[in-house]
């Protein structure tokens, strides 16, 4: 493989590239879905290819192909150079990548049980048992259990001397029960361990075993049916406590995305939008209350945003984002790190924070969340409930929406419980809450401690044109927020 | 692109070697180029060549799928063996009946040589024209121009063989000032039909017109929706209810309503992959010819779309030719959806509105309550107050929480002119007019 990568990089330089890199990737995935007693989908997929990124005449070009031959490497490299020259026709500034990146090494996700060593019969048996358990309660119309397994071997090399090889392994799984009341035309859903079919971790099959899908299935089915006769979440302004899974998505949407520095600089304006966290806010803007601390950490074991080096060859790092409520960090790339220093000066880091990742061989790296975490606080969960006179506890995301600068949001959860005089009471359905990001985080007055904290996986973060799906992690513990508008669905 | 001969050889080779009871080979080959711009320069510019081979095998009623993009004989053999071993290890699935048998396939051309031959320089010129227009107007352009060629081949051991190739060209742009934004997009088979200057003028004009927006209280408003916004009504109704899987799982808003009036009698929505006003597709990913399906006809719920698996679960049903590549958790899916036009112009919609909102498009919409198609989302890229029959001033963006079904029961006017817009997944598209609706509920506002 080194022969092919050297061939591409040397050819790029000969054809006028001031910088070039190449990624060669083999990705293997396996998906199994059991639904209503049958195996509805079972597939094994492999995709391989390479992509060459170049800077020529101060502008970017990229080309990629699934065909791994010297002739194709030549064609694709030349095409990347031609595309870069076309980009340069309308350039305003030259690309500035900052200090060179020349790391050499290898990284492999530590796993206990390689998911591809687990016999298929064992995987099917676990899912069939879990799915059957969902149907224990009559009224469950759709019962579903699934796993998603992932292995990506990638090689990165650039014209500055970097050569890193990585193997990333992930295991995801989950169960969902959907209950239907045909007379009322009502549908309710419960999921475990995370919303939308699964939680996912950079671990082996041990991650699936630790979920105990069969053990949790009967409860999940019962709750889906119980929701049909639960009271509607009332409308008003109240205190809410969010469970860790819902908070993970809250962090993802209202912190993770607006700190992507490429969004801040307008390069995502044509699709997902921009960000309210503009550079003059760096280091001084009150993002949340004093107890709110957030970190982007690409080194944390098991997180979906963990790696050895990003897709520019920059080592994984831990970057503070919010400290005692004050916004202090972005997710950066080589190029955006330089742009930030040009604006705010030496208070910005000298080099990239290592947040560039591409969804496969046929996509360019763009800034993606690593593991963006809300640091744990001091509270025991039971004490937090007992301390709350009047409020609503909301669990597990069901719907999400936010504006294109990441300010106004509205979320819905699968299930909620009224809190009255320090006790959890009646079940509530169709719970929703809405807010404006900094006002919301400013209202955070309690966060549970490390005993209740874990890293959750979001395996389907969409961004970019052409579209890319990233795997991101979010460490959270339950937290309380005051004076929040709830009950948007009447 | 493989071409018919090589594609057939590849598929026939796999079918011949397979020991399964039934075997299907789907080949998806594509060359895609995207020139992206932001801050009025081209900042990302990419190209991709890929060929995916999907092998589905059936042993009794046990189904396994394996895919690869390595076309070496050894890799294809190994992928076939993988699919077979997956199928062998499963329990029987009594819901699976059969892969489809052969049917006559329509033969029409949906291919533009100009799109296939479009060069990086030509794409840069198109994107650049919009960038320069924005710079001249003192605003900032972002957007994407895509040209692509796709070849689809489907073959199975029951005798199905179909191949078609198609092209697609799309331009979209968001133009921004410090206080406003405007949007425009267009799509065609033939890249030379895209008028970049007209798209640039539309978006720049909207951006300039919506500068310095004022705050406005949320509440219930009459709305005039451009086709970009109307597309979201189609998309959400499709996602929540127009597929047989949603019907069979009891969660579609169409459940128990077939034959009943569910929206205004002036509303008709249908899927028709043969209509050249869309981007035609002859057959689905099982090789079944695509049929026109009336989803809602004059306000009455008429039907949903099927693939062979979902049709096999209901007595007397046949595939309507809406399968996606198997295995498919989305279920059968309409890719060429039309919302029937009326006779009103946008100007007539505005002039007939005493007080309301003019909305260019919606952003980040999600179903908050799917069975009633209650959707939440934001307005974006050009939102204006209408007063006394005129656009009065631009307003800051609002959040809505609204049942789209209920909204379609308050239709006041339907536009005369269609717009073709890109649908989900890079194939097909939606064709829709503008709409004027009474009583749309806005539940929040943002700061810009």
CATH number at residue A219: 3.30.2290.10
pLDDT(B329) > 90: no
Closest chain A C-alpha to B266 CA, distance in angstroms:
25
Residue B357 lies in a domain: yes
Among residues A183, A202, A229, which one ends one of the domains?
A229
Which candidate in B444, B445, B447 is best for mutational testing of the A interface (most A CBs within 10 A)? B444
Picking from A39, A80, A430, the nearest residue to B369 by CB comes out as A430
Tokens, residue A190: 């419960």
Helix (H, G, I), strand (E, B) or coil at A232: strand
Region B201-205: mean pLDDT is 98
pLDDT(A182) > 90: no
Whether B233 and B192 map to the same domain: the answer is: no
Residue B195: CATH number of its domain = 3.30.2290.10
Strands of B269-271's sheet in order across:
B300-301, B293-297, B269-271, B336-339, B429-432, B419-422
Whether B34 and B103 map to the same domain: the answer is: yes
Residue B48's DSSP bridge partners are A64, B32
pLDDT computed for residue B330 by the predictor? 85
Q: Which domain holds residue B106?
A: 4-199
pLDDT computed for residue A490 by the predictor? 78
Residues of B in contact with A79 (CB under 8 A): 47, 120
Residue B204 lies in a domain: no
Question: How far is residue A263's CA from residue A401's CA, in Å, rounded to a whole number?
Answer: 17
Whether B171 and B133 map to the same domain: the answer is: yes
Whether A131 and A256 map to the same domain: the answer is: no
Among residues B167, B199, B231, which one ends one of the domains?
B199
Question: How far is residue B101's CA from residue B286's CA, in Å, rounded to a whole number?
Answer: 9
Closest chain B C-alpha to A451 CA, distance in angstroms:
32
Residues of A in contact with B174 (CB under 8 A): 269-270
Question: How far is residue B60's CA from residue B309's CA, in Å, rounded to a whole number?
Answer: 14
> Residue A351's CB: how many other CB atoms inside 10 A?
18
Furthest-apart CA atoms within chain B: distance in Å: 72
> Residue B255's CB: how many other CB atoms inside 10 A?
20
H or E element, residue B110: none
Picking from A187, A271, A408, the nearest residue to B399 by CB comes out as A408
- Inter-chain residue contact B124 with A434, CB threshold 8 Å: no
Query: What's the mean per-residue pLDDT of chain A?
Result: 97
Whether B195 and B287 map to the same domain: the answer is: no
pLDDT computed for residue B425 by the predictor? 66
Q: Tell whether the torsion through CA atoms of B97, B98, B102 and B106 is positive or negative.
A: positive
Whether B262 and B163 map to the same domain: the answer is: no
Region A199-203: mean pLDDT is 98
- Inter-chain residue contact B62 with A128, CB threshold 8 Å: no
Residue B142 lies in a domain: yes
Region A142-149: mean pLDDT is 97
Cα–Cα separations (whole angstroms), residue B203 to A470, B196, B223: 30, 11, 20
Residues of A in contact with B332 (CB under 8 A): none
Closest chain A C-alpha to B249 CA, distance in angstroms:
6
Picking from B128, B363, B401, the nearest residue to A89 by CB comes out as B128
Whether B52 and B121 map to the same domain: the answer is: yes
Cβ contacts of A345 within 8 Å, gap of 6 or more: none
Residue B236 lies in a domain: yes
The gap between the terminal CA atoms of chain A, to the nearest Å, is: 60
Which alpha helices (H) appear in B93-169, and where do they start and end?
113-116, 120-137
Whether A23 and A69 map to the same domain: the answer is: yes
Residue B205 lies in a domain: no
Whether A70 and A126 map to the same domain: the answer is: yes
Whether A159 and A20 map to the same domain: the answer is: yes
Region A168-197: mean pLDDT is 94
Question: How far is residue A222's CA from residue A377's CA, in Å, rounded to a whole number?
Answer: 32
Closest chain A C-alpha to B286 CA, distance in angstroms:
16
Region B48-72: mean pLDDT is 97
pLDDT(A201) > 80: yes
A436 touches chain B (CB under 8 A): yes
Residue B321 lies in a domain: yes
- Inter-chain residue contact A265 with B39, CB threshold 8 Å: yes
- Inter-chain residue contact A407 with B371, CB threshold 8 Å: no
- Inter-chain residue contact B49 with A65, CB threshold 8 Å: yes
Region A360-385: mean pLDDT is 98
Helix and strand numbers, DSSP H then E, in chain B? 10, 19
Tokens, residue A325: 């409520």
Please provide the size of chain A in residues: 490
Region A282-286: mean pLDDT is 97
Question: How far is residue B48's CA from residue A306's CA, in Å, rounded to a whole number?
Answer: 27
pLDDT band at A451 (very low <50, low <70, confident <90, very high): very high
- Inter-chain residue contact A44 with B65, CB threshold 8 Å: yes
Q: Which domain holds residue A60?
A: 2-229
Q: Are B252 and B241 in contact (CB under 8 A)?
A: yes
Q: Are A72 and A6 in contact (CB under 8 A)?
A: no
- Inter-chain residue contact B251 with A178, CB threshold 8 Å: yes
The number of C-beta contacts closer than 8 angstroms across A and B is 277
Closest chain A C-alpha to B74 CA, distance in angstroms:
14
Q: Which of residues 253-272 of A touch B (CB under 8 A)?
A: 265-271
Counting Cβ atoms within 10 Å, is residue B102 exposed (0-12), middle (13-18) or buried (19+)? middle
Whether B180 and B327 map to the same domain: the answer is: no
Question: How far is residue A476's CA from residue A250's CA, in Å, rounded to a whole number?
Answer: 10
Cα–Cα separations (whole angstroms), residue B223 to A58, A128, A239, B269, B355: 46, 49, 34, 20, 9
Residues of B in contact with A62 (CB under 8 A): 44-47
- Inter-chain residue contact B39 with A87, CB threshold 8 Å: no
Q: Which of residues 157-186 of A touch B (CB under 8 A)?
A: 178, 180, 182, 185-186
Region B238-257: mean pLDDT is 95
Cα–Cα separations (whole angstroms), residue B82 to A45, A169, A476, B17, B447: 10, 20, 39, 13, 54
- Inter-chain residue contact A399 with B90, CB threshold 8 Å: no
Residues of A in contact with B43 (CB under 8 A): 60, 87, 267
Number of domains in chain A: 2
Residue whose C-alpha is closest to residue A298's, from A109, A114, A161: A109
pLDDT(B423) > 90: no
Whether A35 and A75 map to the same domain: the answer is: yes
Residue B146's DSSP bridge partners are B34, B170
Residue B338 lies in a domain: yes
Report the C-alpha dihedral over residues A127, A128, A131, A132, rounded to 10 degrees.
-150
Quote the ipTM score: 0.95
Whether B118 and B249 map to the same domain: the answer is: no
Residue whose C-alpha is closest to residue B154's, from B81, B53, B292: B53
Whether B191 and B220 map to the same domain: the answer is: no
Picking from A46, A128, A403, the nearest residue to B378 by CB comes out as A403
Region A154-165: mean pLDDT is 98
Q: Are B412 and B420 in contact (CB under 8 A)?
A: no
Whether B40 and B155 map to the same domain: the answer is: yes
Residue of A nearest to B122 (CA): A86
Number of domains in chain B: 2
- Inter-chain residue contact B446 with A271, CB threshold 8 Å: no
Question: How far is residue A433's CA from residue A435's CA, in Å, rounded to a whole number?
Answer: 7
Among residues A208, A229, A250, which one ends one of the domains?
A229
Whether B369 and B425 map to the same domain: the answer is: yes
Region B392-410: mean pLDDT is 97
Question: How far is residue B323's CA from residue B308's CA, in Å, rounded to a whole number?
Answer: 7
Residues of A in contact with B83 (CB under 8 A): 44
pLDDT computed for residue A196 by the predictor? 84
Among residues B199, B234, B263, which one ends one of the domains?
B199
Which candidate in A54, A58, A83 is best for mutational testing of the B interface (most B CBs within 10 A)? A83
Question: How far is residue A86's CA from residue A63's CA, in Å, rounded to a whole number?
Answer: 13
pLDDT(A197) > 80: no
Whether A187 and A251 map to the same domain: the answer is: no
Among residues A196, A229, A262, which one ends one of the domains?
A229
Picking from B67, B127, B174, the nearest residue to A45 by CB comes out as B67
Q: Which of residues 104-163 of A touch B (CB under 8 A)?
A: 119-121, 124, 128, 141-142
Please provide the size of chain B in residues: 448
Whether A89 and A140 map to the same domain: the answer is: yes
Question: How far is residue A302's CA from residue A456's CA, in Å, rounded to a whole number?
Answer: 9
Question: How far is residue B11's CA from residue B55's CA, in Å, rounded to a whole number?
Answer: 9
Whether B293 and B175 map to the same domain: the answer is: no
- Inter-chain residue contact B42 with A59, CB threshold 8 Å: yes
Helix (H, G, I), strand (E, B) or coil at B59: strand
Helix (H, G, I), strand (E, B) or coil at B218: coil
Whether A285 and A420 map to the same domain: the answer is: yes
Residues of B in contact with A362 (CB under 8 A): 48, 50
Encode pLDDT of A241-269 as tens digits: 999 999 999 999 999 999 999 999 999 99
Question: How far is residue A326's CA from residue A307's CA, in Å, rounded to a whole number?
Answer: 27
pLDDT band at B435 (very low <50, low <70, confident <90, very high): very high
Encode pLDDT of B284-321 as tens digits: 999 999 999 999 999 999 999 999 999 999 999 999 99
Phi, psi of B112 (to 5 degrees): -120, 125
Question: How far is residue B183's CA from residue A447's CA, in Å, rounded to a whole number?
Answer: 41
Q: Which of residues 339-368 of A touch B (CB under 8 A)?
A: 362-364
Residues of A in contact with B52 (CB under 8 A): 47
- Inter-chain residue contact A362 with B48, CB threshold 8 Å: yes
Among residues B175, B199, B223, which one ends one of the domains?
B199
Which candidate in A48, A90, A198 is best for mutational testing of the B interface (most B CBs within 10 A)? A90
Whether A257 and A369 map to the same domain: the answer is: yes
Whether A216 and A260 map to the same domain: the answer is: no
Picking from A273, A436, A489, the nearest residue to B401 by CB comes out as A489
Residue B206 lies in a domain: no
């Amino acid at each position: 493989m080194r022969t092919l990568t050297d061939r591409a990089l040397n050819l790029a330089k000969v054809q006028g590239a001031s910088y070039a890199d190449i990624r060669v990737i083999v990705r293997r995935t396996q998906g199994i879905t059991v639904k209503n007693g049958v195996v509805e989908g079972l597939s094994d997929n492999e995709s391989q290819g390479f992509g060459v990124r170049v800077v020529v005449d101060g502008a970017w070009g990229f080309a990629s192909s699934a065909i791994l031959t010297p002739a194709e490497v030549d064609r694709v490299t030349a095409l990347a150079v031609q595309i870069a020259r076309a980009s340069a026709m309308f350039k305003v500034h030259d690309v500035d990548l900052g200090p060179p990146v020349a790391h050499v090494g290898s990284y492999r996700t530590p796993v206990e049980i390689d998911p591809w060593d687990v016999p298929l019969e064992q995987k099917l048996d676990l899912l069939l048992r879990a799915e059957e358990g969902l149907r224990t309660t009559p009224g469950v119309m759709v019962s579903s259990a699934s796993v998603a397994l992932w292995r990506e071997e990638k090689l990165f090399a650039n014209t500055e001397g970097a050569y890193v090889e990585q193997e990333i392994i992930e295991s995801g799984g989950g169960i969902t029960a959907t209950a239907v009341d045909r007379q009322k035309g009502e549908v309710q859903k419960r999921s475990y361990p995370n919303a939308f079919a699964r939680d996912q971790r950079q671990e082996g099959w041990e991650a699936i075993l630790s979920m105990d899908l069969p053990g949790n299935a009967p409860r999940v089915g019962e709750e889906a049916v119980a929701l049909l006769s639960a009271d509607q979440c009332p409308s008003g302004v109240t205190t809410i406590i969010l469970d860790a899974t819902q908070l993970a998505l809250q962090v993802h949407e209202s912190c993770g995305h607006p700190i992507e520095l490429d969004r801040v600089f307008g390069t995502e304006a044509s699709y997902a939008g921009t960000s309210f966290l503009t550079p003059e806010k760096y280091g001084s803007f009150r993002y949340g209350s004093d107890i709110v601390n957030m970190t982007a950490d690409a080194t944390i074991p098991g997180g979906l945003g963990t790696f050895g080096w990003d897709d520019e060859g920059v080592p994984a790092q831990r970057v503070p984002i919010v400290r005692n409520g004050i916004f202090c960090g972005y997710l950066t790339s080589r190029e955006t790190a330089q742009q930030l220093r040009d604006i705010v000066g030496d208070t910005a880091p000298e080099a990239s924070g290592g947040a560039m990742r591409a969804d496969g061989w046929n996509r360019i790296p763009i800034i993606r969340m690593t593991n963006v975490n809300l640091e744990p606080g001091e509270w025991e969960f039971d004490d937090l409930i007992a301390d709350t006179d009047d409020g609503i506890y909301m669990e597990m995301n069901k719907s999400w929406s936010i504006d294109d600068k990441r300010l106004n949001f509205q979320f819905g959860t699968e299930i909620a419980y009224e809190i009255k005089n320090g006790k959890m009471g009646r079940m509530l359905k169709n719970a929703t809450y809405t807010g404006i990001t900094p006002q919301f985080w400013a209202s955070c007055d309690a966060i549970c401690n490390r005993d209740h904290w874990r890293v959750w996986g979001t395996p389907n973060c969409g961004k970019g044109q052409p579209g890319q799906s990233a795997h991101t992690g979010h460490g959270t513990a339950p937290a309380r927020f005051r004076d929040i508008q709830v009950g948007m669905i009447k | 692109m493989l071409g018919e001969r090589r594609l057939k050889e590849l598929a026939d080779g796999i079918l011949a070697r397979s020991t399964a009871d039934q075997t299907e080979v789907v080949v998806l080959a594509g060359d895609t180029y995207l020139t992206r711009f932001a801050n009025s320069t081209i900042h990302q510019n990419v190209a991709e060549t890929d060929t995916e081979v999907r092998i589905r095998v059936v042993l009794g009623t046990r189904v396994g799928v394996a895919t690869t993009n390595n076309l070496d004989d050894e890799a294809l053999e190994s992928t076939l063996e993988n699919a077979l071993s997956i199928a062998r290890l499963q329990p029987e699935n009594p819901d699976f009946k059969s892969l489809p048998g052969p049917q006559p396939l329509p033969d029409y051309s949906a291919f533009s040589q100009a799109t296939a031959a479009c060069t990086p320089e030509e794409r840069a010129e198109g994107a650049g024209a919009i960038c320069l227009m924005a710079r001249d107007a003192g605003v900032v352009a972002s957007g994407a121009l895509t040209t692509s060629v796709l070849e689809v081949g489907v073959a199975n051991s029951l005798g199905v063989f179909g191949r078609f190739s198609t092209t697609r060209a799309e331009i979209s742009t968001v133009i921004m000032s410090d206080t406003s934004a405007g949007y425009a997009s267009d799509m065609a088979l033939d890249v030379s039909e895209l008028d970049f200057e007209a798209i640039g003028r539309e978006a720049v004009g909207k951006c300039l017109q919506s500068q310095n927006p004022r705050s406005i209280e949320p509440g219930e408003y009459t709305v005039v929706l451009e086709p970009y916004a109307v597309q979201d009504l189609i998309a959400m109704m499709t996602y929540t209810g127009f597929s047989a899987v949603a019907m069979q799982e009891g969660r579609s808003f169409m459940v128990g309503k077939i034959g009943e009036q569910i929206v205004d009698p002036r509303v008709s929505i249908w899927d028709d992959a043969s209509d050249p006003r869309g981007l035609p597709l002859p057959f689905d990913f099982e090789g079944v010819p695509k049929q026109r399906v009336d989803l809602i006809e004059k306000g009455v719920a008429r039907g949903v779309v099927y693939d062979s698996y979902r049709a096999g679960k209901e007595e007397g049903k046949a595939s309507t030719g809406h399968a996606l590549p198997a295995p498919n958790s989305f279920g059968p899916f309409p890719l060429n959806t039309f919302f029937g036009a009326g006779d009103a112009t946008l100007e007539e919609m505005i002039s007939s509105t005493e007080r309301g909102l003019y909305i260019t498009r919606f952003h980040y919409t999600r179903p908050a309550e799917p069975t009633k198609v209650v959707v939440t989302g934001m307005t974006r890229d050009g939102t204006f107050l209408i007063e006394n029959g005129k656009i009065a001033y631009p307003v800051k963006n609002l959040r809505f929480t609204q049942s789209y079904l209920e909204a379609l029961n308050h239709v006041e006017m339907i536009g005369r002119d269609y717009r073709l817009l890109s649908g989900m997944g890079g194939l097909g598209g939606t064709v829709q007019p503008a709409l004027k609706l009474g009583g749309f509920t806005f539940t929040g506002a943002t700061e810009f």
